[in-house]
Amino acid sequence: MAVVQLQFDSFLDEYPLLSGRVRDQQRQRLLRDFLRLLDFEWDNRPDLKFRAVEFSCGSTDPIALDLSGRRIFVRGKMDRLDELNGRLFIRDFKSGKCHPREGDEAGPTPTLDAQLAVYALIMNSLHKKEPKLWPKVGGVSYFYPDPRGEMERHFIDDLDDLLEKGRDWLAAMADLIDGRQFPRTVNKDGCQYCAFVPVCGEQAKGEAGKKLQKAGAPVRRFIALVQEPEEENEEIE
């Protein structure tokens, strides 16, 4: 616990919280989340072998990822790397509410899981270059210390499915960037953090659907990947 206190004090040097009440609340939250992580690992993955934290890769030389028909270069920083049963286990820690793998989000979901897919592809690429240093990826996970609901969203047994879809997501996005095409969303939830919501207005979803009916192949491919089948049929077929 002393280490947690020390890290929080260091954090305050870079991100000052002026109110003493706020500092105390955030300190207690950090301690609570830390204890939840320890309890979860002890109960579910006691055999984890620590490898790295805040692992930065590609900063100097971006990592090359080979996709279908193209190659892209990426860089990133991963929250934590461990070994689990001789394979690399990648985790990203989230502060929000967990998205359990059920319903519409049971399988790989681009708006949620693209980050995990990219991390796994990066580390598998490093594994090919330095197999003695980095084991092959065996699983990826988001960890949520929030007490509401489940605490983890992971891909282990079906990691290959996530990697396959992740390559498709990246290739589709790269095609859009190359073609300078940036389609609007027909999902209102996708507008939540967009700065252009006032410009689009209340009719944004309907107008976007009309535009997508005349969209070219790269846009249609991207929309097909990120939409549910019934939405796709309704809006762009």
Q: Which percentage of the chain shows pLDDT scores above 90?
A: 47
Per-domain residue ranges for the chain? Answer: 1-44, 47-174, 181-236
Mean pLDDT, range 13-38, rounded to an integer:
88
Dist CA 128 CA 130 (whole Å): 6
Dist CA 10 CA 121 (whole Å): 33
pTM of the predicted structure, to 2 decimals: 0.82
Dist CA 111 CA 139 (whole Å): 19
- Which residues, 6+ apart, have CB-to-CB distance to 135 below 8 Å? 83, 86, 87, 88, 127
- Which residues, 6+ apart, have CB-to-CB distance to 4 below 8 Å? 30, 31, 34
- Domain spanning 47-174 has what CATH number? 3.40.1350
Residue pLDDT, tens place only, 119-131: 999 999 999 999 9
Q: Are 31 and 38 a contacting pair, CB within 8 Å? A: no
Residue 8 has a pLDDT of 87
Mean pLDDT, range 53-73, rounded to an integer:
88
Residue pLDDT, tens place only, 183-214: 776 666 667 777 777 777 666 666 666 666 66
